Chain A
Amino acid sequence: MNTPAGLRFVLVGNPNTGKSTLFNALTGQRQSVANYPGVTVSKKLGTAIWQGRSWEVVDLPGSYSLVPRSPDERVTRDALLGEVAGVEPEVVVCVVDTSNLRRNLYLLSQVLELQLPTVVALTKSDLLVQRGERLDVAALGRALGVPVVALNVPLGQGIDALQAELDAVRQMMAAGDWRAAGHRPLPPEVYAALAQVDSAGSAVEGVPAESCERSSERRARAVGRLLRRALDASLPDDGQAGRVRQSLLQQGVDLGALEADSRYGWVDATLRTVGAVSQAASGPSASGPTATDAGSSATGAGSSAAGAGSAATGPAGLSLMDRVDSYLTHGVFGGLFFLAIMFALFFAVFQVAEPAGTWVDAGLSGMNGVVESVMDPGVFRDLLSEGVIGGVGNFVVFLPQIFVLFLFIGLLESTGYMARAAFLMDRVFSPLGLSGKSFVPLLSSFACAIPGIMATRIIERPRDRLLTIMIAPLMSCSARLPVYSLMISTLFPGQVWSKALILLAMYLLGVVVALVIVAIWKKLIWREGSPEFVLELPEFQFPQVWDVLRRAGERSWEFVVRAGTVIMALTLLIWAANYFPRNDAMFVEQEQQLETWLSQLVATPPPADAQVVALEEQIARLELEITAQRQEHSYLGQAGKWIAPVVRPLGWDWRIGCAALASFPAREVIVTTLGILYEVQDPEENVADLELALKQATWPDSGLPVFTIPVALSIMVFFALCSQCASTLAVIYQETRSIWWPILSFVYMTVLAYVGALLTYQIGTWWL
């Protein structure tokens, strides 16, 4: 079963070139693919087997340059320099977006300089064809001196050719025949400065002298790394690289301008050789003999093509898609469109809620019926019917809504709309001291704060990134949806659109509070201006529907798994605290009385109506009394007495207080806990009918209903603002490498939640 090892290759390229799609196609793994820059926020590893060998694939975050500006770009540079343990590249696959060759070849130029075996994978050639352009792939391969393969990854074209090319490189390396391309795009003084360090016989850092003589390729690679370090002012100024840099600076060389200008000089010369002059002004080129034919390889005989020349866009006007963009990014139209999309999302959430809820309810009552008919009464039956089915079941009801949420966010990502939204949001964020780039992780946080916080790695300035991490958990995530949905459908009867509006308001609350926090923080604590904002707007794409559906399905399944593990465990703990201690001795008299009445009821002849009704009422009252007393004496009931005075100002009874407290590890627990705590009031009721149970809950002293509109609002506000997710705190720790940031996040959010809920209830009661 031992498959011989292939090579370890890394995928590098500009953001949004289709690296992740290629990675998925090669490895069969399913990582998130979206049409906005910055999806791969940390390296992804996978293996693939072809040509009878097992290949290691590393997908690196997209980068415009090997001079990093953000944490994710730093990962890419460090990995390419061989400084990330476990992912030192043996071969580089540079993914080049054919529709934007000029800028993509800039990064390729930096990659080629590292002297690692490199294969170029051309993607998105379909966009080029749409523009009526062509590229001579064979000529490009000759000009670059490395294998070039044209791909159409969504259609699966060209993958075989890429694999064959990689295997050819492997064979050449194994035979010792592989030679670096000798890429030298920079001016001679750079290579002269390099040669001073790399003079005959002297060791290059990282390569022992004796090995330098034996392996010139290894030496070439070391020199390539040395040059990269010398040109990167973000790296320390020591060692050989530092000496090269100093020598260049002493000659008065402007390193930034030198690299950009000479590389683009090389890019333009290369494009001219290939016949693809990148500026539209040159008009259609006749260089490409055939249409772009993904799947062919430049080193093979069948060359393929697409060259320069431009479609309908004259310099005087904008193309149709540019005009669409112009509307979507308009301050008023674009903003309204954005709100309309958000509203449509929440409308869809409630549209699916009702049929899905009924369906799940029916399933749960059926399961409960089976459990009660099969099992004997006792602790285990109660555990199964009240704890598992009643508790977790109440939570699973929300699965369809969460699926819709994931589907919507997936569609926004897949079409390319996300970058437009980031543009719109830059107008809001920049006066506050952040840029539109912070919006991308924040929008992901509407699904879940964890990927959102990880996506902050695309943000350049460390402080901006920290602040974005701090506010990301304020975005209402999918786990809050069940709480909102339960409260809204219980307390706010009415049309779907009015429910959707309340839901939209809850989401906006988190956003507005986050913006206020940013403003205060930036103005009072950090006192710094907004960062610059540069973001690519990818072309609109028809969403990859299957991909989006599959991804939404996978994330929903993660939700089910969570319900079955973490949520279930916490719920059972709550159930046990509410069920034990079981002081049956206390209730012997009442139980006997109940038995007597029940036998009387059975013995009563059918026509005695008034008598039956009175008896049934007596029984119901006694049952209620028993369960209330049992709950009061349970561990949870005793704990509730401590919580009650703290949560009373929020309008909550001790049960809501207990449920909120139990939800600190994971906020979804509130729904299951409320299910357990309120269901007991009426054991004859259908387990899944939590809404009815909540509506019927009353204060023991006054008999008034517990759940009023101010109480429901206060609960929703509390959950919107509170830090109730252990996993989020763990990710904040992981991303900031400091215990203080998660502590700060927890404290400020929890205080905010309490104050917010307090104000909501107090103002709400006074108002209504």
Chain B
Amino acid sequence: MGGSMSFLNLAQLPAGAAAEIVEVSGVESSVARLRELGFQAGRTVQMVRPGSPCIVKLDQCKLCLRPCGACVVVKTLG
């Protein structure tokens, strides 16, 4: 919880906020799918509509997401 940086689940990110992916973990098949779509550590995602499912923006592309068994851990920027 140090400073302005905190780790959280992607689903907790508020609308409009951008964050850096720290890790994708969970059930292998779900994780593999997210990785193939470009969810790699170090990439930036932006939340468009939080909730379940949520809409995130990754690499200029909007994705609807309701991962079951996978968790995208992010750290907020700034």
List A residues at the B interface (Cβ < 8 Å).
64-65, 67, 69, 99-100, 102-103, 106, 131, 256-257, 259-261, 264, 278-281, 310, 313, 315-318, 322, 325-326, 329-330, 419, 422-423, 426-427, 430, 435-436, 529-537, 539
Query: What sequence of 0s and 1s flags, for each residue 35-78 of chain B, a beta carbon within 8 Å of any chain A beta carbon?
Result: 11110100110101100110101011111111111100000010
Q: How far is the CB of A529 from chain B (nearest CB, A)?
A: 7
Contact for A256 among B17, B28, B61, B64, CB less than 8 A: B28
A426→B64 contact, CB < 8 A = yes
Q: How far is the CB of A100 from chain B (nearest CB, A)?
A: 5
Q: How far is the CB of B30 from chain A (nearest CB, A)?
A: 6
Residues of A within 8 A of B69 (CB): 532
With the chains together, A44 CA to B62 CA distance in Å?
A: 28
B43→A533 contact, CB < 8 A = no
With the chains together, A729 CA to B59 CA distance in Å?
A: 43
Residues of B within 8 A of A264 (CB): 35, 38, 40
**B50: nearest chain-A partner, CB-CB:** A326
With the chains together, A322 CA to B70 CA distance in Å?
A: 25
Instruction: Answer yes or no: B32 CB below 8 A from chain A CBs.
Output: yes
B18→A315 contact, CB < 8 A = yes
**A263: nearest chain-B partner, CB-CB:** B36
Range of interface residues on B (Cβ < 8 Å): 35 or more
With the chains together, A565 CA to B46 CA distance in Å?
A: 54
Instruction: Answer yes or no: B15 CB below 8 A from chain A CBs.
Output: yes
Residues of A within 8 A of B55 (CB): 325-326, 329, 423, 537
Residues of B within 8 A of A436 (CB): 53, 64, 66
Given contact pairs A279-B44, A532-B70, enumerate 9 new A-B contacts (beta carbons under 8 Å).
A103-B61, A106-B36, A264-B35, A278-B60, A316-B16, A322-B57, A325-B55, A326-B49, A430-B53
With the chains together, A436 CA to B34 CA distance in Å?
A: 17
**A326: nearest chain-B partner, CB-CB:** B49
Q: How far is the CB of A235 from chain B (nearest CB, A)?
A: 15
With the chains together, A259 CA to B43 CA distance in Å?
A: 17
**A330: nearest chain-B partner, CB-CB:** B49
Contact for A69 among B17, B33, B59, CB less than 8 A: B33
B43→A279 contact, CB < 8 A = yes
* In the complex with contacts A279-B43, A315-B18, A326-B48, A260-B64 CB distance below 8 A: no
Q: How far is the CB of B42 from chain A (nearest CB, A)?
A: 9
* In the complex with contacts A279-B43, A325-B48, A423-B53, A318-B66 CB distance below 8 A: no
**B63: nearest chain-A partner, CB-CB:** A536
Instruction: Answer yes or no: B22 CB below 8 A from chain A CBs.
Output: no
* In the complex with contacts A329-B55, A536-B63, A529-B68 CB distance below 8 A: yes
B68→A318 contact, CB < 8 A = no
Which 3 A-B pairs give the minimum distances between C-beta atoms? A260-B35, A315-B18, A256-B32
A537→B37 contact, CB < 8 A = no
Residues of A within 8 A of B63 (CB): 534-537
Instruction: Answer yes or no: B10 CB below 8 A from chain A CBs.
Output: no
Q: How far is the CB of A127 from chain B (nearest CB, A)?
A: 9
A257→B35 contact, CB < 8 A = yes
B31→A256 contact, CB < 8 A = yes
A99→B60 contact, CB < 8 A = yes
With the chains together, A256 CA to B69 CA distance in Å?
A: 16
Q: How far is the CB of B11 from chain A (nearest CB, A)?
A: 13
With the chains together, A67 CA to B68 CA distance in Å?
A: 19
With the chains together, A99 CA to B63 CA distance in Å?
A: 14
Residues of A within 8 A of B62 (CB): 322, 325, 536-537, 539
* In the complex with contacts A99-B60, A315-B46, A261-B65 CB distance below 8 A: no
Contact for A427 among B46, B53, B59, CB less than 8 A: B53
Residues of B within 8 A of A257 (CB): 31-32, 35
With the chains together, A65 CA to B68 CA distance in Å?
A: 20
Residues of A within 8 A of B52 (CB): 430
**A97: nearest chain-B partner, CB-CB:** B61
Residues of A within 8 A of B64 (CB): 419, 422-423, 426, 436, 533-537
A534→B68 contact, CB < 8 A = no
**B31: nearest chain-A partner, CB-CB:** A256
B35→A103 contact, CB < 8 A = no
B60→A315 contact, CB < 8 A = no
Q: How far is the CB of B76 from chain A (nearest CB, A)?
A: 10
B59→A103 contact, CB < 8 A = yes
**A110: nearest chain-B partner, CB-CB:** B36
With the chains together, A436 CA to B65 CA distance in Å?
A: 10
B77→A318 contact, CB < 8 A = no
* In the complex with contacts A64-B37, A264-B38, A315-B77, A430-B66 CB distance below 8 A: yes
With the chains together, A532 CA to B71 CA distance in Å?
A: 12
**A530: nearest chain-B partner, CB-CB:** B68
Q: How far is the CB of B20 from chain A (nearest CB, A)?
A: 10
With the chains together, A102 CA to B43 CA distance in Å?
A: 12
**B39: nearest chain-A partner, CB-CB:** A260
Residues of A within 8 A of B40 (CB): 260-261, 264
Q: How far is the CB of B19 from chain A (nearest CB, A)?
A: 9
Residues of A within 8 A of B37 (CB): 64, 103, 534
A322→B36 contact, CB < 8 A = no
A-B contact pairs, 24 of them (CB 8 A): A64-B36, A67-B32, A100-B59, A102-B59, A103-B38, A106-B38, A256-B28, A260-B32, A260-B40, A261-B35, A264-B35, A264-B40, A310-B60, A315-B77, A318-B16, A325-B49, A422-B64, A426-B53, A426-B66, A532-B67, A532-B68, A532-B70, A534-B34, A536-B62
Residues of B within 8 A of A537 (CB): 55, 62-64
Residues of B within 8 A of A100 (CB): 59-61
Residues of A within 8 A of B66 (CB): 426, 430, 435-436, 532-534
Residues of B within 8 A of A530 (CB): 68
A318→B44 contact, CB < 8 A = no
**A16: nearest chain-B partner, CB-CB:** B61
With the chains together, A531 CA to B67 CA distance in Å?
A: 8
With the chains together, A30 CA to B68 CA distance in Å?
A: 38
* In the complex with contacts A103-B59, A422-B64, A426-B53, A280-B32 CB distance below 8 A: no
Q: How far is the CB of A108 from chain B (nearest CB, A)?
A: 13
B35→A102 contact, CB < 8 A = no
A536→B61 contact, CB < 8 A = yes
Q: How far is the CB of A77 from chain B (nearest CB, A)?
A: 13
Q: How far is the CB of A569 from chain B (nearest CB, A)?
A: 45
Residues of B within 8 A of A256 (CB): 28, 31-32, 35
Q: How far is the CB of A416 from chain B (nearest CB, A)?
A: 10
**B70: nearest chain-A partner, CB-CB:** A532
With the chains together, A99 CA to B43 CA distance in Å?
A: 17
* In the complex with contacts A256-B31, A325-B62, A534-B38 CB distance below 8 A: no
B15→A318 contact, CB < 8 A = yes
With the chains together, A742 CA to B68 CA distance in Å?
A: 31
Residues of A within 8 A of B61 (CB): 100, 103, 536
Q: How far is the CB of A65 from chain B (nearest CB, A)?
A: 5
Residues of A within 8 A of B46 (CB): 313, 315, 318
Q: How far is the CB of B78 from chain A (nearest CB, A)?
A: 8
B49→A329 contact, CB < 8 A = yes
With the chains together, A343 CA to B28 CA distance in Å?
A: 43
Q: How far is the CB of A706 from chain B (nearest CB, A)?
A: 49
**A325: nearest chain-B partner, CB-CB:** B48
Residues of B within 8 A of A317 (CB): 16
With the chains together, A537 CA to B54 CA distance in Å?
A: 11
B53→A533 contact, CB < 8 A = yes
With the chains together, A330 CA to B70 CA distance in Å?
A: 24
Residues of A within 8 A of B31 (CB): 256-257
Q: How far is the CB of B60 from chain A (nearest CB, A)?
A: 6
